[in-house]
């Protein structure tokens, strides 16, 4: 068994070894650009990982207030509360509520009846009214 391992070790020593630098040089200029972009990407990931806090996304106090106001269907108060908070969810809610309150169509309490078909509409299509 030792003879086989010794033979395998001497066989592998005959092959030339390539270093990481030789691989980068053989890749050409594109490898330098890819290396630089990789370093920048890792720096961005770590930078955002350390600076992003859960409280910056949403706080429990805001979510409780928003839940109560949504259950009451008090959208204008929720819009005012969202204006005062700096969380990411609050800004999304603010823009959504701003859109809803500007484009809301007033609902009429009575039901709109469909118009009756006129005799002139049925002429030519074979329907008798």
116 domain-assigned? no
What's the pLDDT band for 61 if we cut at 50, 70, 90? Answer: confident
What's the pLDDT band for 63 if we cut at 50, 70, 90? Answer: confident
Range of the domain at 24: 20-52
Q: Kindly state whether residues 36 and 61 are assigned to the same domain.
A: no
Global pTM reads 0.40
Q: Kindly state whether residues 62 and 39 are assigned to the same domain.
A: no
Nearest-angstrom CA–CA distance, 121 and 129: 10
By the 10 Å C-beta count (0-12 exposed, 13-18 middle, 19+ buried), 59 is classed as middle
1 domain-assigned? no
Phi, psi values for residue 53, rounded to 5°: -110, 155
Handedness of CA 24, 30, 34, 35 (dihedral sign): positive
Residues shown for the chain? 129
Number of domains present in the structure of the chain: 2
Q: Kindly state whether residues 98 and 67 are assigned to the same domain.
A: yes
Nearest-angstrom CA–CA distance, 85 and 78: 11
């Amino acid at each position: 068994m030792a003879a086989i391992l010794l033979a395998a070790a001497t066989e592998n020593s005959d092959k030339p070894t390539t270093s990481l630098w030789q691989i980068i040089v053989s890749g050409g200029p594109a490898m330098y650009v890819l290396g630089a972009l990789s370093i920048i990407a890792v720096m961005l990931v770590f930078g955002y990982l350390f600076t992003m806090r859960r409280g910056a996304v949403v706080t429990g106090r805001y979510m409780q207030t928003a839940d109560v106001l949504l259950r009451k269907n008090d959208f204008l108060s929720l819009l005012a509360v969202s204006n005062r908070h700096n969380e990411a969810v609050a800004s999304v809610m603010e823009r959504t509520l701003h859109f809803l309150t500007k484009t809301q169509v007033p609902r009429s309490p009575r039901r709109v009846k469909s118009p009756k078909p006129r005799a002139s509409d049925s002429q030519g299509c074979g329907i008798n009214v």
